[in-house]
Amino acid sequence: MKKIGMSLLIAAVGGAVAIGGYKLFENKQNEHMTFEEKQKVYFANNPESAIMSSTGNPDFTEAAAAVSPGVVHINVTMTARGSRGGGGSPFDMFEEFFGMPQRRQQQPRQARASGSGVLISPDGYIVTNNHVVEDADKIEVKLTDQRTFEAKVIGRDADFDLALLKVNASKLPFVKFGDSDHVRIGEWVLAVGYPLSLQSTVTAGIVSAKGRQIGILGEQGQGSPYGYGQPQEPIVRTAVESFIQTDAVINKGNSGGALVNTRGELIGINAAIASPTGVYAGYGFAIPVNLVKKIVNDFKEFGTVQRGYVGINFREVDAAIREEYKIDDIHGLYVFDVVKDGAAAAAGIQKGDIITKVEGRTIYSSSDLQELVARLSPGDKVKLTYKRDGKERDVAITLKAQDLKKSSSDEEVSASATEIFNKLGASFTPASDAQKKKFGINSGVVITQVHRGGMFEYFGVEKGLVVTHVNGKPVNNVDDVEAALGSTKRNIVRITGVSESGTVEFNFPIQY
């Protein structure tokens, strides 16, 4: 009996060790999976029944029930100021003390705004619009079951109007990815979000157009990722617009919410409306999910978007172009200039060529090229067809990267670590082993992006710096950074980092 008991004990321990090892391996693998791969694994292990209409007519009830729990309400708190000479500085009192010009300004006040977001994984990752959270000091996420979490910004980008947030939770409901390439004009769709500060709201409509450009991001100072404009303009404008247009009703507050098909699959992130009054007047616009997938995976892995560029300055072929340059083409992109040492130049594309197809698809507008290239990264290849001297030629181009309140010194900081994290205004990714070896450090996160309006931007902290310690604690990932910020004392955040020029230290006063 003793031998049998010992054998059973050994078998049990061995089984536990095997299961534990497998789980450790599984968790390690999950860390490096894209959001789309995670979803495929989840739905492979949790098969769902097909959503069918019970009457033969469009039936949205099942799709609405499946999606609504995964669409969250985002409430943002930000600091608003009134001033005569511009925004306030954390060092205003020092400027006044040392006789520097003083800017008369009102006391900071708290402002609030709200929007929507979409859970895309059970471990708390949320995609929303950049404009929903870009000025946030504090971000609060509320689920349909009334649970509330504080969120931190993993990455955001104004050129795509997308942001990735993270809440510390698990086993959350999330929305299944669809395929925006297969969306058809006339297809029924649902918009899910929190318009006009209402609770979860579902509206229905159809897809009325694809690949729409409405100039909303260009108005904010971005433009096209290929220098789209007149030939004398520099190639510095980088915004991407290729919206799905729908007549499903959306309003203020729907920003960042879900556009889904009747199968309950996410096909877009609602971003804007076309309206002369600021409220719904017929058309809404959503960012295609196939573009969203690429951007959020970049945010998670790198903290910033990894963009590849063709390196041309172009305009869509229209009547004016045809008349001026004596060409007969109806569609395509006329190349005004080619960036020196860029991807197009390396592939032999020249000024005066007409780009007619991308990956075999006819180019009807600049968004046809814009969206597809925006899904790729530096080093990826894309097949372009161009016309020169009346003959079409195919070429494979390898994309290249672009060559951007309380003042008492004795008072403990009252803000949460997540709020301070967002106020710093930066994205981080773990330092590689090679970087640690290069600088002789044992810990570190790399600043991959510095966001507009944050403390890092104000004090000139540049991306590329390797942050080794926050408030004296070693950091190796964004969770370490947030945890270390929880020990902030006297409203001062202490940052230690290394760069090519040596070790640097910053002390940031956190103002409310």
pLDDT in tens, 328-383: 888 899 998 898 889 999 999 999 999 999 999 999 888 889 889 999 999 999 99
Percent of the chain scoring above 90 in pLDDT? 48
The residue assigned the tokens 């075999």 is 360
Choice among 73, 114, 121, 131 that is catalytic: 131
Check residues 223 and 331 and name the one with the higher pLDDT.
331
Distance, C-alpha 475 to centroid of its chain = 23
What residues have CB less than 8 Å from 398, skipping those under 6 apart?
Answer: 343, 346, 347, 379, 380, 381
CA distance 256 to 243: 13
Q: Does residue 399 register a pLDDT over 60?
A: yes
Report the alpha-carbon angle 154-159-160, nearest 5: 65
Catalytic residue from among 161, 247, 298, 368: 161
Q: How far apart are CA 265 and CA 225, in angstroms?
A: 29
Q: What is the pLDDT of residue 233?
A: 39
- Known active-site residue 89: no
Q: Of residues 255, 366, 367, 427, which has the active-site annotation? A: 255
Report the pLDDT value the prediction gives residue 131, as an integer from 0 to 100.
94
Mean of pLDDT values over 20-27: 55
Closest CA to 177 of 6, 83, 41, 277: 41
Half-sphere exposure of 219 (CA within 13 A, CB side): 4
Q: For the chain, list the domains and their CATH numbers.
A: 312-398 (2.30.42.10), 417-509 (2.30.42.10)
pLDDT band at 491 (very low <50, low <70, confident <90, very high): confident
Task: Using the predicted structure, report yes or no on whether residue 288 has a pLDDT greater than 80.
Answer: yes
Q: What pLDDT was estimated at residue 106? A: 52
Q: Has residue 64 got a pLDDT over 60?
A: yes
pLDDT (0 to 100) of residue 43: 80
* pLDDT value at residue 98: 40
Alpha-carbon distance of 31 to 22, in angstroms, equals: 14
Q: What is the DSSP letter of 105?
A: B
CA distances to 80, 126, 279, 295, 386 from 373, rounded to whole Å, are 37, 24, 33, 12, 16
Which residue, chain included where needed, has tokens 């959020």?
296
DSSP annotation string for 151-174: EEEEEEETTTTEEEEE-S--S---
Assess whether 161 carries a catalytic annotation. Answer: yes
Q: 39-43, 114-118, 391-395: which range is least confident on average?
A: 39-43
Predicted local confidence at residue 94, as pLDDT: 40
pLDDT at 86 over 50: no
Q: What percent of the chain has pLDDT over 70?
A: 79
pLDDT at 1: 59
Q: Which of 5-19, 275-289, 483-497 has the lowest mean pLDDT?
A: 5-19
Question: Per the structure block, which two tokens stand in for 65?
Answer: 């029930």
- pLDDT at res. 408: 37
